[in-house]
C-alpha cells in the first residue's frame, strides 16, 4: 500500500514537472529570442537580408547605408511586436500590432530611413508612431524625434515602450499627424508611415529648407508610390517617385 502511494505521488510530481517544463518551453517560444545573444544573432541575420534585398531591388537604387543598417541592428524589434508574434520579430516582414495597424517591414523601414539622409542631432517628425519602432531607429541614429499617432491605445503603448527602452530623445503625442507638430518644427526630416492621398501642406511648411520628407501617396488599400520630397534652400520643392509600397491609410479629417 505504502509503496503504491509513493509511486503515485512520484508520478504526480513528475507529471507536474513535465507540465511545468512544457509551460516553460511554451513561454520561451512565446517570448521569442531565448536570450539577448539569440536576438543579436537574429537581428544581424535580418539586417543582412535587408541589405541584400536593397542591393538587388531596382539594381541597387534603394541601397541602404551602413549607418542605417547598424542603427537597425541595435533596435530590439521583438520588444515592438505583440507577444504571440515575437517568434517572427526578426522575419523581414510587416506584422500586425492591433487596431488594424502594422509595424512596417524592416526592409521598408531601412529604405525610408536611408532616403532621409539624416545626421546626428537633426530634428525629425514621424507621422504614425504605431509600435514606436521607426522612432527608435531614428533615435539610434542620434536624432531628436517627435512622433504623432492618431490611435490613442497605440500611442500610449508606444510611449510606455519607448520610455522603458530608454529612448529619451523621442517625444510622442496623440493627434492627427496631417497638421504636423508646428510648435516643435521646422524639421530636418519628416517620415509619414501611413498612406496619404496627397502631401499634407502643413507638413511641407514644417520642413526646413534643405530638409527631406518621405511619404507614401496613393489610394488606400492599394499600391501607393513612396515619394521623396525635398525642400531646396530657396524654398522650392522637388518630388521624386521612389518605389511602389503598400501602407495602411492615413486616417483623420483630411484623407
Ligand atoms: N511607424 C510605425 C508603423 C506605422 S503603421 C512603426 O514603426 O511601428 C501606421 C500608423 O499610422 C498606424 O499606427 C496608424 O494608426 C497611424 N495613423 C494613421 N493615420 C494617422 C494620422 N492622421 N495621424 C497620426 N497617425 C496616423
Residue 255 counted as domain residue:
no
pLDDT for residue 8: 44
114 shares its domain with 232: yes
Residue 17 included in any domain:
yes
What is the domain count for the chain? Answer: 2
3 with 99, same domain: the answer is no
Question: Among 115, 108, 105, 185, which residue's Cα sits nearest to residue 145?
Answer: 185
- Return per-residue pLDDT of the chain as tens, 255 residues: 343 444 444 444 455 465 655 654 455 455 567 677 779 999 999 999 999 999 888 666 778 999 999 999 999 999 999 999 999 999 999 999 999 999 999 999 999 999 999 999 999 999 999 999 999 999 999 999 999 999 999 999 999 999 999 999 999 999 999 999 999 999 999 999 999 999 999 999 999 999 999 999 999 888 999 999 999 999 899 999 999 999 999 999 886
Catalytic residues: 104
178 and 103 together in one domain: yes
CA of 253 to the centre of ligand 1 (A): 14
Q: Is residue 54 classed as helix, strand or coil in its secondary structure? A: helix
Same domain, yes or no: 123 and 26: no
Q: Same structural domain for residues 14 and 64?
A: no
Let me know whether 123 and 205 are in one domain.
yes
Give the orientation angle of helix 133-140 with respect to helix 106-116, to 10 degrees.
50
In a domain, 252, yes or no: no
pTM: 0.88
**Atom nearest to 177 CA in ligand 1:** 23
- Ligand 1 atom at shortest distance from the alpha carbon of 250: 19
- Check whether residue 4 and residue 48 sit in a common domain: no
pLDDT at 245: 95
Residue 250 placed within a domain: no
DSSP symbols for 153-209: HHHHHHHHHHHHTT-TTEEEEES-GGG--TTT--EEEEEE-SBBSS--HHHHHTEEE
Task: Choose one of 193, 217, 221 to mutate for the ligand 1 pocket test, by most ligand atoms within 8 angstroms of C-beta.
Answer: 193
Q: 125, 130, 154, 254: which to mutate for ligand 1, most atoms within 8 A of CB?
A: 130
Query: Which residue's C-alpha comes closest to atom 4 of ligand 1?
Result: 130
Q: What is the pLDDT of residue 34?
A: 63
Q: Which domain range does residue 240 map to?
A: 36-245
Q: Are residues 88 and 165 in the same domain?
A: yes
Residue 66 lies inside a defined structural domain of this protein: yes
On whether residue 198 sits in a domain, the answer given is yes
Do 96 and 3 reside in the same domain of the chain?
no
Residue with cell 521612389: 242
The CATH number given to whatever domain includes residue 151 is 3.40.50.150
20 in a domain, yes or no?
Answer: yes
Question: Rounded to whole angstroms, what are the CA distances from 190 to 8, 17, 23?
Answer: 67, 54, 45
Whether 149 and 122 share a structural domain = yes
Query: 131 and 164 in one domain?
Result: yes
Residues 96 and 164 in one domain: yes
Other C-beta atoms lying within 10 Å of the C-beta of residue 230: 17
- Residue 253 is assigned to a structural domain of this protein: no
Rounded distance, CA 75 to CA 89, Å?
Answer: 11
Distance of CA 58 to the CA centre of its chain: 23
Amino acid at each position: 500500500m505504502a509503496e503504491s502511494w509513493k509511486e503515485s505521488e512520484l508520478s504526480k510530481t513528475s507529471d507536474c514537472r513535465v507540465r511545468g517544463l512544457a509551460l516553460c518551453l511554451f513561454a520561451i517560444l512565446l517570448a521569442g529570442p531565448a536570450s539577448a545573444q539569440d536576438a543579436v544573432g537574429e537581428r544581424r541575420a535580418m539586417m543582412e537580408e535587408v541589405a541584400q534585398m536593397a542591393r538587388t531591388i531596382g539594381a541597387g537604387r534603394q541601397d541602404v547605408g551602413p549607418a542605417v543598417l547598424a542603427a537597425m541592428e541595435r533596435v530590439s524589434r521583438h520588444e515592438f511586436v505583440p507577444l504571440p508574434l515575437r517568434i517572427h520579430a526578426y522575419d523581414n516582414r510587416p506584422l500586425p500590432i492591433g487596431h488594424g495597424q502594422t509595424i512596417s517591414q524592416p526592409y521598408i523601414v531601412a529604405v525610408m530611413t536611408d532616403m532621409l539622409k539624416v545626421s546626428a542631432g537633426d530634428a525629425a517628425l514621424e507621422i504614425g508612431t504605431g509600435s514606436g519602432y521607426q522612432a527608435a531607429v531614428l533615435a539610434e541614429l542620434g536624432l531628436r524625434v517627435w512622433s504623432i499617432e492618431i490611435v490613442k491605445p497605440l500611442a500610449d503603448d508606444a510611449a510606455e515602450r519607448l520610455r522603458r527602452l530608454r529612448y529619451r530623445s523621442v517625444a510622442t503625442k496623440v493627434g492627427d499627424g496631417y497638421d504636423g507638430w508646428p510648435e516643435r518644427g521646422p524639421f530636418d526630416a519628416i517620415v509619414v508611415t501611413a498612406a496619404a492621398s496627397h502631401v499634407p501642406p502643413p507638413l511641407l511648411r514644417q520642413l526646413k529648407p534643405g530638409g527631406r520628407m518621405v511619404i507614401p501617396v496613393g489610394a488606400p488599400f492599394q499600391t501607393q508610390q513612396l515619394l521623396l520630397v525635398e525642400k531646396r534652400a530657396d524654398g522650392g520643392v522637388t518630388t521624386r517617385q521612389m518605389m511602389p509600397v503598400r501602407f495602411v491609410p492615413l486616417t483623420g479629417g483630411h484623407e
